[in-house]
Amino acid sequence: MKNKLILGFLMLFCSLFFIQGRMALAAPTPVQIYEVDYEEENIIVQNNENSRIYFATEIEASRERWEVINADPGATTEVDFSWVSNTTDNVLVFKGEENPTQVRVILPQQTRKLDISIDYSKINSLSKNDTIGSLLNIMTTAGTAKEPITFDDLEWRKGDNGKWKDASELTLAQLEKYQVKGTHLYFRIKPVNDVIRNGVYPDGSKGNRPSKEVKLRITKKSAPMVVGIDGSKFNADIKYGKEYRVTIGNQTSDWVQVYNRSIRQVALKDMVKNIPGMTADGTINSKAFPAMLIEIRNYATSKAAASKITEIDLNAQRTIQGYVVEGEAPADASSDDKNIYISYNGNKNLVITIPSASTSNPYEYCVVKPGATFDINHTVWSTITKNTPVKILGSKAVEGGTLYIRMKEIKSKAATRTTPAVEYALASTFVTYSIAYPSTPKLVDMGTYIYVKKGYTENLSFKVKLNEAGKLPYETQLKNIKLGTKSIDFTTVIEPMLQEPIDRTKEYIMTVTLSRDSLESMANCYNKAVTLTYDNGTIDKTSMKLTITNPTAAGTLTLTAKPGEKTGTTNVTVVSNPASGNIFVYTIGNEQVTGKMIQDTLEEGVGVELSKDDITIATDQYLTVYEINKTSRNIVKYRSIKITANQIR
C-alpha cells in the first residue's frame, strides 16, 4: 500500500510538471504583420496564439481606444483597413490579447497625381507583340528620380467595367483592335503588397496603394481616304500629312512620310525606288512599272493615330506592242495589227494610222518640238480611238520634232447588265518617232519656158529635184501636166534610177520632156502658168510658166560698103551700134541670106567678128552682117548685100 501511494504521488507530480512545461512552451508571443495587402485593403496578422487582436490608429492607441476582433481560426487574421483615409499617411497599431506587445503598420497615402498621354508618332517603331509602353508619357508624383514609375508599374482596364490587367497584356496588336471603333482605357499605378522579404516582416512601407485612375481616350482610326491615281502622269494624290509604302512581289518598303507642305502628288517612280534595286518610270518598255500594292494613310502624330489604310492594287503597266512603220497602213489591216503607221502629206501634215485603236483600247500621242524636253507632267496628249488616219498639221508636228505614242490610261468601270466591268490600267509605255518630212519636188530652174512653133524648139525639157540628200522623196512620178485646161503629154527620166527601198542619202533628179506634138497643137500664149500634178497629190501651180509663140523675124541692119584700102577689099560700116551683150559678125557667100528669125542662131565658129578692118571679097559675092547675142548666138538683126565692083578696090 505504501509503495502504491508513493507511485501515485510520483505520477501526479510528473503529470503536473508536464502540464506546467507544456503551458510554459505555448505561452502567446506578440502578433506579427504577415502581409499588407493593398489590393484587397487587408492587413494579414499572424495570431501567434493570441485569441483576440487589438488595433487602432496611432492616436487612438495612445488613448487606449482599441478596436478588438476575435482571431480567425488558423495562424492569421485578416484586418480590413479600407476605412482608413487614403488622402494622408496613416499608422495602425496592433497587439494581441495574451501578449500586448505592439507592432506598427504604415499605410502611405494614395498617389493622387497621375497623368498619361499617348504619342502615336512612335507607333511605327513597334512590332505587333510589343507593349505600348514606349508610346505613353507618364507624369506622376510617385517614384523617385532613381526609381521612376514606368509602364511596368501600371495596370489597365478597358471601359468603365473592365477587369484590371497587367501592363504586359496591352500590346500594339491589342491597341489596334481598340482603334477600329475607339474606346477608353483606364490606367493606375498598380497596388504593391508589402510581404515578408528575406525573413524581414513587413510594416507597409515597402508597398503602395493603387493610384488614382486616369482615363485615356483611344480614338477611332479615321476612315480610309480616297486617293486618285493619275495614270497619264504616273502620280498618286499623296500630300502633306500622309504616308505610303509599296509592295512589289515579296518586298515591302518602309512607310515614307510626306513632310513637305507644298507636295500634292508623289510620283510612282519615286515610290518604286523605295524597294531596293528597283527603278521604273513608265516611259519605255524596259522601265515599265511592275504590279504593285500601294498603301496610304494619314500618318500618326503625337495627338492622333494613323488613319485606316487605303489600298491601291495596280496591275503591271502595259507595254506597247508592234513597231513604227513608215508608210500607209495596209487596206486590210485589222485590230490584230499592233503596228503604228506614219506617213506624210507632203510637208503639210503627218498622218498616224493605228489599226488596233478603238474606244475600248484608246491610244494617244504628243509632239515635242526640236530643242524641247519631254516632261510627262506637262505634256498634253491627243486621243486616237479609231482605225482611221489622223492628220497632224505640220505647224504642230514640226520638222525635227519627236512624236510620242502610247496606249491611253483606262478608267475602271463597274459592270452593267449589258457591259462587262472595265479594269483600271495605267497608260502604257511609249514609242518615239523622229519627224522628218519627205522632200517635196522643186523645179531646178523656176520661171518662164519658151516654146517656138514650126520646129524651132525641138525638145522643151525641165528638171525637177525630187529630194534633198538625207530625206526621202515624197513624189516620184508626175501624174499630169496642164496648160490651163489642156493636158500636155510628157516623158520622164529619173537619175539615179529609183530602187526599193529608196536610198535617202542620194538626190534624185527627174528630167521632164514635153511632147512637141502637144505643144504645136496649143494656142500661142504668154507667161501662162503650168500646173504640175504628182502621183501623191502634190500640185505645183507657180513654179513654171510657158510662152508658146511663132518664130519672130530678125531685125534689119543698115549697112554701107565702100572700097577698101587694098585691092580686092571692101570696107563695111554698120550705121547702129550693137545692143549690150551683142556683137556684129559677118559671113561671105554666093547666095543672099534671107528669112532669119530671132530664134535662129549662128553655130559656134561661123562668122567673123566685124571690125574696122577691110574685108577681102569678090564682086557679086554676098556679104551678110549679123547682130547676135554673144552668149546664146541668137540672131537679133541681120542684112545680106551683094557687093558690086564699085564697092571693091
Note whether 233 and 381 are within 8 A (CB). Answer: no
What are the backbone angles phi and psi of residue 179, rounded to the nearest 5°? -75, -10
Query: Within 10 A of 477 (CB to CB), how many other CB atoms are there?
Result: 12
Note whether 242 and 260 are within 8 A (CB). Answer: no
Note whether 291 and 315 are within 8 A (CB). Answer: yes
Give the separation between CA 68 and CA 153, rounded to whole angstroms: 36
Measured in whole angstroms, how far is the alpha carbon of residue 583 from the centre of its chain? Answer: 78
- Residue 480 carries which side chain, given as an amino acid letter? N
Give the separation between CA 28 and CA 262, rounded to whole angstroms: 84
Evaluated on CA atoms 485, 489, 493, 499, the torsion sign reads positive
- Residue 291 carries which side chain, given as an amino acid letter? A
Q: CB-hemisphere CA count at 13 Å for 32?
A: 13
Note whether 213 and 162 are within 8 A (CB). Answer: no
Give the separation between CA 565 and CA 246, rounded to whole angstroms: 116
Mapping DSSP to helix (H, G, I), strand (E, B) and coil, where does residue 172 land? helix
The set of residues, in sequence order, having a beta carbon less than 8 Å from that of 413 and lying 6+ positions away, is: 419, 421, 422
Give the separation between CA 576 and CA 639, rounded to whole angstroms: 12
- Residue 610 carries which side chain, given as an amino acid letter? L
Q: What pLDDT score was predicted for residue 26?
A: 56
- Residue 25 carries which side chain, given as an amino acid letter? L
Burial class from Cβ neighbours inside 10 Å (0-12, 13-18, 19+) for residue 127 reads exposed
Q: What is the pLDDT of residues 211-241, one digit of tens each?
A: 999 999 998 888 877 788 999 999 999 999 9
Cell numbers of 494, please? 529619173
Q: What is the pLDDT of residues 57-111, one digit of tens each?
A: 999 999 999 999 999 999 999 999 999 999 999 999 999 999 999 999 999 999 9
What are the backbone angles phi and psi of residue 563, rounded to the nearest 5°? -60, 145
Using 70 as the pLDDT threshold, list the residues of the chain that sit under it.
1-26
Burial code of 538-569, b = ≥16 C-beta within 10 A, e = fewer? Answer: bebeebbbbebeebeebeebebebebbeeeeb
Give the separation between CA 439 and CA 53, rounded to whole angstroms: 122
Give the separation between CA 405 and CA 409, rounded to whole angstroms: 12
Give the separation between CA 575 and CA 565, rounded to whole angstroms: 20
Give the separation between CA 293 and CA 318, rounded to whole angstroms: 16
Note whether 356 and 336 are within 8 A (CB). Answer: yes
Note whether 312 and 229 are within 8 A (CB). Answer: yes
Give the separation between CA 219 and CA 209, rounded to whole angstroms: 30
Mapping DSSP to helix (H, G, I), strand (E, B) and coil, where does residue 606 land? coil
Q: What pLDDT score was predicted for residue 135?
A: 94
- Which residue spans within 439-579 are E strands per DSSP? 442-443, 447-452, 460-465, 478-483, 486-487, 490-495, 509-514, 525-534, 539-540, 544-549, 555-556, 559-563, 569-574
- Give kind and range of the element (H or E) at residue 20: helix 2-25
Cell numbers of 570, please? 571692101
Q: What pLDDT score was predicted for residue 304?
A: 85
Note whether 623 and 572 are within 8 A (CB). Answer: yes
This prediction's pTM: 0.64
